[in-house]
Copies of this chain bind each other. A is one copy, B any other.
């Protein structure tokens, strides 16, 4: 019962995804090359591609020049007029929105500042709906469809229901964001996800890494884990809660989660600022750039502890790369060495440590990418939806 019975449609779906994946990986491929790469017959590739073109997912370019004899191939690529992903990020002090095409290009982008702490969900979600409407209008103006909507929130999102369980930094609890947004915009297909998870998706998009953890230090410490080119969410969707791993077993500070000595109490943004004796990240970086002793030591200390916690994650999950995001990306020049040192001590296999390729709106991009990715993973379902109208 849990698995659907397979039929011809299953074959079609799988092959559509296979072909589309190959087109995405190598823009400009010909049908003949696709047949060779996928192992499908040329005839099959042609029909699959025809369906993808009809659904506007793939676009056929001009015949390509070739060296030597033979008919010229017409290059296939993801269509810039294909379905777009719309991503919204509900940050603690901003809302971000992105409209992203199938290839990952940003078509529309907006960030609105504003403290969302302890504002009622209904108020914030009305603003979110406004952003979505603006992005939808932008899509309509460009003549493209919105294929799916993603919303990133800094909190625990239940996998099955999509319910936001709790977002400590917003002061929210038990909010059905998908429903609220759908009610306000009239749009379905709203997927809600954790901010750290979706930021990892954005990172995956930009780096192409198949397996990594992305840690970002903001008010909390979140980890988004990508394994085998897919987000690892855990059984209920709560995976990646690195902030409350124990790093000071005895005598640690009390954490807002109730336990003592959590990673967050040592390597969280606030803790680092306190240890360095500064008021803001800007102050901290200025001090660091002048090699101010206490500041460097504070960051190094946090880095060692962060590295130790990451080593635990890596030993348990066997992930070969770490991406530093958010505040950690800003501090990367001073954080990198101590993190690497701690990892080197505790992990047998080599681990890469990288700096995030994103600034602020990683999660918004990730939310949009996730929506796009849902289509890429099952283009045939989307094509069917299009055909139904």
Binding site for B on A (CB under 8 A): 1, 3-8, 10-11, 14-15, 18, 21-22, 37-40, 44, 156, 211, 223, 225, 227-228, 233-242, 244-249, 257-259, 262, 305, 308-309, 311-313, 315-320, 345-346, 348-349
Using CB atoms, name the residue of chain B closest to A238: B318
Query: With A11-B6, A259-B346, A308-B246 as given contacts, are A316 and B313 in contact (CB-CB < 8 Å)?
Result: yes
Residue of B nearest to A232 (CB): B317
18 inter-chain pairs at a CB distance below 8 angstroms, sorted by A residue, are: A6-B11, A6-B14, A6-B15, A10-B14, A11-B11, A156-B348, A225-B316, A227-B234, A234-B317, A235-B319, A235-B320, A238-B348, A245-B311, A245-B315, A249-B249, A249-B305, A259-B346, A316-B316
Contact between chains at A18 and B38 (CB < 8 Å): no
Partner of A239, one of B40, B238, B318: B318
Is there an interface contact between B235 and A38, defined as CB atoms closer than 8 Å? Answer: no
Flag if B39 contacts A239 (CB, 8 Å).
Answer: no
User: B37 contacts A1, CB within 8 Å?
Assistant: yes
Residues in B with CB closer than 8 Å to A315 are 241-242, 244-245
Enumerate chain B residues within 8 angstroms of A37, measured Cβ to Cβ. Answer: 1
A345 — which chain B residues lie within 8 A by C-beta?
Answer: 258-259
Contact check, A236 vs B318: say whether CB atoms are below 8 A apart. yes
A311: chain B residues at CB < 8 Å are 245-246
Minimum Cβ distance to chain B for residue A251 (Å): 10
Which residues on the B side are within 8 Å of A228 (C-beta)? 235
- Within the complex, which residue of B14, B223, B238 is in contact with A349, where a contact is CB–CB below 8 Å? B238
Which one of B18, B236, B348 contacts A6 once the chains associate, using CB atoms below 8 Å? B18
